[in-house]
Amino acid sequence: MSTPPSLPANNPAESLQEFVARTAQRDLGHGVFELESPRFLEVNLNGRMNTKTGSMVAYHGDIKFTREGMLDHGVGSLLKRAISGEGMRLTYADGNGKLYLADQGKKIIILKLQNESLIVNGNDVLAFEGSLQHKITMMKKIVGMMAGGLFNVRFDGSGLLAITSHYQPLTLRVQPGRPLMTDPNATIAWSGNLNPTLKADVSLRTFLGRGSGESMQMRFEGDGFVIVQPYEEVYMQTTGG
């Protein structure tokens, strides 16, 4: 496996030939999912792949893209999308070839689930294999509809899953008797055995217009883990298909 040439620290300029060689795509032989860089995912497609709508950057080969239908996962899923106004929107990539995905320059993490469960913020799902069962979930409290990032996807089974994070994520343990509170806008994913609740912490700062994610918190109890990012992501409300 060849290593791309590095740029000399004392000479930031490089020839066009050097730039092309340094940034060229390389076959790493890692299987279906390969990281071309920390922010570019290469999918070696042979069949169907579920991808986040709008994440396709480029592709080689014979690939057809189909937008997920609003009723593909039933009326219940449709209602959850309508209430939340945002969440994971899928495009099916079918065919054979190489597909390159990215999402706003966010760091990409490839996970291999082995008969396991993981719940992921809908905005942080990039791609996943069809062998994984997925189901849209929402926080039970109605106040959850007021906060971004509470439209989640539960994955069960075995298969590859690519998720995204602003910068390097941190995984925090949750242990019995030691609950963990997180900012909803910084929470990426958590183990499937945890069922978080929402905790409102409204203070004077909130009414003065200085409130942030601290005024609404996710509370995790039990035995598991939570993945957070060093960034409070603001989720834009969208409508329609």
Q: What is the pLDDT of residues 161-213, one digit of tens each?
A: 999 999 999 999 999 999 999 998 899 999 999 989 888 765 645 555 544 44
Report the share of the chain in percent with pLDDT over 90.
56
Q: What is the pLDDT of residue 80?
A: 44
Q: Does the residue 2 lie in any domain?
A: no
Query: Mind listing the pLDDT tens digit for each residue in 21-66?
Result: 988 888 777 789 999 999 999 999 999 999 999 999 999 999 999 9
CATH number (domain holding residue 148): 3.60.160.10
Q: Is residue 3 part of a domain?
A: no
Is there a domain that residue 190 lies in?
yes
Read off the pTM. Answer: 0.81
Going by C-alpha positions, the residue among 36, 33, 55 that lies closest to residue 44 is 33
Of 143-152, 205-214, 216-225, where does the model show the most confidence? 216-225
The number of folded domains in the chain is 1
Rounded to whole angstroms, the Cα distance separating 204 from 225 reads 32
Distance CA 231, CA 212 (A): 12
Domain that holds residue 183: 26-228
Q: Which residue has the higher pLDDT, 4 or 130?
A: 130
Q: Using CA atoms, how far apart are residues 92 and 48, in angstroms rounded to an integer?
A: 7
The more confident residue out of 160 and 203 is: 160
Q: How would residue 143 be classed by pLDDT, with cut points 50, 70 and 90?
A: very low
For residue 20, is it within any domain?
Answer: no
Task: Say if 19 falls within a structural domain.
Answer: no
- Three-state secondary structure call for residue 198: strand
pLDDT tens figures, 51-106? 999 999 999 999 999 998 654 554 444 444 444 444 568 999 999 999 999 999 99
- Mean residue pLDDT of the chain comes to 82
Q: Is residue 30 part of a domain?
A: yes
Specify the pLDDT at position 148.
46
Q: Let me know if residue 192 belongs to a domain.
A: yes
Are 194 and 222 spatial neighbours (Cβ–Cβ below 8 Å)?
yes
The CA dihedral of 201, 202, 208, 213, to the nearest 10 degrees, is: 40
Spatial distance between the Cα atoms of 44 and 37, rounded to a whole number of angstroms: 15
Say if 112 falls within a structural domain: yes
d(CA 237, CA 10) in angstroms, rounded, equals 46
Annotate 199-229 with DSSP letters as a single string: EE---HHHHTT---GGGEEEEE-SSEEEEE-
Flag whether pLDDT at 237 surpasses 80.
no
The confidence score (pLDDT) of residue 201 equals 67
